[in-house]
Amino acid sequence: MKSSTSIGDYLIQRLYANGVRHVFGIPGDYVLGFYDQLTHSKLRVINTTDEECAGFAADAYARVRGLGAVCVTYCVGGLKVVNPTAEAFAEKSPVVIISGAPGMRERDRNPLLHHKVREFDTQKKVFEELTVASTVLDDPQIAFAEIDRVIHAALRYKRPVYIELPRDLIHTPGIPGYKPAAFHELSNPQSLAEALAEATAMINAAKQPVILADVEIHRFGLQDELLQLAHQTNIPVAATLLGKSVVGEQHPFYLGVYEGAMGREDVRQYVESSDCTIMLGWFMTDINLGVYTARLDPARSICATSEKLTLRYHNYDDVRFKDFVRGLVRAKLRPRELVNLPRPQPLPAFVALRGKNKITVKRLFQRLNAFLSDNTIVVADVGDALFGAADLYIHKRTEFLGPAYYASMGFAVPAAMGVQFANPKSRPLVIVGDGAFQMTGMELSTAVRYNLNPVVVVLNNRGYGTERHMQDGPYNDLVPWHYHRLPEVLGKGRGYLVETEEQLDKALFAAERHSDTFSLLDVHLDPFDRSPALQRLAERLAKKL
Ligand SMILES: Cc1ncc(C[n+]2csc(CCOP(=O)(O)OP(=O)(O)O)c2C)c(N)n1
Ligand SMILES: [Mg+2]
């Protein structure tokens, strides 16, 4: 490293070294100096229309590539990234939030500088709640070490971190000759060996073990290990909604998405009658648990995450999640026969009914399933978009993204921008409710600016449909936008008004053909129509009442 490397340059170098190639955000005077450094670096700045959108884009980028970054100005920008940072924290996505800030020399005598809320550290305090590590780079002596510490925490815990840059120090050199710290975290070998021995005995004694694979398999890049484990042993694998696409869904050992009563009945029965559930990177969120309809017995479970390892009622400390999963791959587990497994049923082939047959949610998802190809990444927003998408048949791994735990509306359109930069070979299929679209849909402007080509399907049921099923009122109604006409406003893209099956079919064929730009399908649905998944949940809950 050059002896004159500045704090700003070092941050850029470390982001690059950890796989970041794009930084999402909006500049402001407190961060303009760093934007200049970014523009002259190997990283590419992607301007979004709003900081919240930059946050969602960086989160999705991190989910696909392993680390994401957003760069904004002090408070007015930073505080808009609060909600996406909360989502990234809750759903374990490593995003580096970089915020400009007043220079240290400007802070003397506590002047009322613009954008300051209360104290100079107010924004940092907010982010301390939402991140696993945070720092203000106000001391050149330790700035490089701080950058390493914080980025390492993001990678170690797969959660967001916060870095604040006082604007008068970004060009200041750090310590000459500094070498990036090497972080090694090892499992305690005795704990690991004992945990693996207990797990091996439990699994081998079981008649019907099953693996439940969730989000941390994605985040820790353990998909190959999971595949190997399943191939070697023929122990079937179910995913969760948050973990969906953890493996390609065509594998013979893949059961489908398990989500208690909300999911398919055959998967529920198989998983819940297992005498050894091996939960890998699995979080007991209410949605993963099918709104608490899941019936899983801890006395028959192995529960491994980056935070905790529990076998039945035994806890093991100091065992890294990766080491445990890799250990299972090497363990002497007896192979099984793949017989009578429930398998995801490919949705029936879609033949559009002619004429004026109105499109329904169920038929829409059947048609969307046929649209998926090997390079489609499905990005689903909250609402029936997410529930309905659970039944789509995903071809390859990491091709399904949805905020299935924190569940903030407005994720999908900006996330699709992040997805396409993270994997330029992909074409996102965005499935989004009209309510969520009205929050962040104008981020399609970024698709225009950078020539991206997502296919955006707006489920236009004229309101907050999911909520209508719980409690209806005028507060669930929306102003009906002419979504399909937005390309006119944005100056690019193709819009389609879809009311019938035939129109849907034609629009999707056209969207497939016109891959030079984005497509926006405004799909008119009955306000009370809903996907089979929502229907299932309602029926099973009704039986319990
Ligand atoms: C940012 C945010 N605000 C409010 C909610 C509460 N909420 C959950 S679902 C929903 C309705 C979603 O409407 P829409 O996007 O049109 O999808 P639909 O339910 O109609 O399928 C609302 C308001 C939320 N999850 N996120
Ligand atoms: Mg709606």
224-242: pLDDT as tens digits: 999 999 999 999 999 988 8
- The residues, ordered by sequence, that sit 6+ positions from 484 with a Cβ below 8 Å of its Cβ are 495, 496, 497, 520, 521, 522
- Closest-approaching ligand to the CA atom of 534: 1
Asked whether 461 lines ligand 1 (CB < 6 A), one says yes
Task: Compute, in angstroms, the gap from residue 123 CA to the centroid of ligand 2.
Answer: 34
Cβ-proximal residues to 514 (8 Å cutoff; 6+ apart), any chain = 494
Q: Is 408 in the pocket of ligand 1 (CB under 6 A)?
A: yes
Q: Quick one: which atom of ligand 1 is closest to the CA of 468?
A: 19
Local structure of residue 391 (DSSP, 8 states): T
Cα–Cα distance for residue pair 3/173, rounded to 1 Å: 8
Identify the nearest ligand to the CA of 531 by its number: 1
The position carrying tokens 């009205």 is 438
Interatomic CA distance for residues 471 and 413, integer angstroms: 27
Q: Please give the number of the atom of ligand 1 that sits closest to the Cα of 466.
A: 19
CA of 197 to the centre of ligand 2 (A): 50
To test the ligand 1 pocket, which listed residue (52, 464, 472) has its Cβ within 8 A of the most ligand atoms? 464
285 lines ligand 1 (CB under 6 A): no
Task: Determine contact, residues 148/180, Cβ cutoff 8 Å.
Answer: yes
Mean pLDDT of 335-345: 86
Pocket-testing residue among 82, 365, 409, ligand 1, by greatest number of atoms within 8 A of Cβ = 409
Average confidence (pLDDT) over 315-319 = 95
**Overall average pLDDT of the 458-474 stretch:** 91
The side-by-side arrangement of strands in the sheet containing 309-311 is 254-257, 237-239, 209-213, 276-280, 301-304, 309-311, 314-316
Q: According to the model, what pLDDT value does residue 163 have?
A: 98
Q: By percentage, how much of the chain surpasses pLDDT 90?
A: 77
Closest listed ligand to the CA of 385:
1
What is the position in ligand 1's atom list of the atom closest to the CA of 437?
15
Ligand 1: centre distance to CA 464 (Å): 6
pTM of the model: 0.94
Give the model's confidence band at 1: pLDDT under 50 very low, under 70 low, under 90 confident, else very high.
Answer: low
* CB distance 457 to ligand 1 below 6 Å: no
Higher pLDDT residue, 446 or 2?
446
* Packing angle, helices 412-422 and 51-65, rounded to 10: 50
Residue nearest to atom 4 of ligand 1 (CA): 409
**Ligand approaching nearest to the C-alpha of 438:** 1
pLDDT in the model for residue 243:
84
Query: What residue's CA is closest to ligand 1, atom 8?
Result: 383
Taking the CA of residue 438 as reference, the ligand 1 atom at the shortest distance is 15
The yes-or-no verdict on residue 77 having pLDDT over 60 is yes
pLDDT tens digits for range 141-187: 999 999 999 999 999 999 999 999 999 999 999 998 898 878 778 99
Quote the ligand 1 centre to 433 CA distance (angstroms).
8
Distance CA 127, CA 135 (A): 10
Position 2 confidence tier, pLDDT thresholds 50, 70, 90: low
pLDDT, position 296: 82
Q: Are 135 and 125 in contact (CB under 8 A)?
A: no
pLDDT at 3: 59
104-143 pLDDT, tens per residue?
Answer: 999 888 888 899 999 999 999 999 999 999 999 999 999 9
Ligand 1 pocket check for 272: Cβ under 6 Å: no
| Cβ count within 10 A of residue 483 | 23
Share of the chain above pLDDT 70, in %: 97
Over residues 438-452, the pLDDT tens digits come to: 999 999 999 999 999
Instruction: Answer whether 413 contacts ligand 1 (Cβ < 6 A).
Output: no
Residue 55's nearest CA partner among 98, 17, 112 is 98
Of 236 and 374, the one with more pLDDT = 236
Confidence of residue 300 (pLDDT cuts 50, 70, 90): very high
pLDDT in tens, 471-521: 889 999 999 999 999 999 999 999 999 999 999 999 999 999 999 999 999
- 459 within ligand 1 shell (Cβ under 6 A): yes
Mean pLDDT computed over every residue of the chain: 93
CB of 263 within 6 A of ligand 1: the answer is: no
Average pLDDT over residues 347-361: 86
> Is-contact 278 302, C-beta < 8 A?
yes
The closest of 431, 418, 427 to 395, measured between CA atoms, is: 427
Residue 92 has pLDDT above 90, yes or no: yes
As a whole number of angstroms, the distance between CA 63 and CA 74 comes to: 26
Å from CA of 383 to ligand 2 middle: 7
pLDDT computed for residue 384 by the predictor: 93
- Indicate whether residue 324 lines ligand 1 (CB < 6 A): no
Nearest CA to ligand 1 atom 5: 409
Give the ligand at the shortest distance from the Cα of 530.
1
Mean pLDDT of 515-540: 89
Q: Which residue has its alpha carbon closest to ligand 1 atom 11?
A: 464
pLDDT band at 368; cut points 50, 70, 90: very high
CA of 465 to the centre of ligand 1 (A): 8
CA within 13 Å, CB half, 420: 22
Exposure of 228 by Cβ count < 10 A (0-12 exposed, 13-18 middle, 19+ buried)? middle
Q: Report the nearest atom of ligand 1 relative to the CA of 434.
A: 16
Q: Evaluate: CB of 441 within 6 angstroms of ligand 1.
A: no
172-181, 414-423, 517-526: lowest mean pLDDT where? 172-181
CB 133 within 8 A of CB 150: yes
pLDDT by residue (tens digit) across 251-292?
A: 889 999 998 877 888 999 999 999 999 999 988 777 777 666
pLDDT of 469 reads 81
Position 291 scores a pLDDT of 67
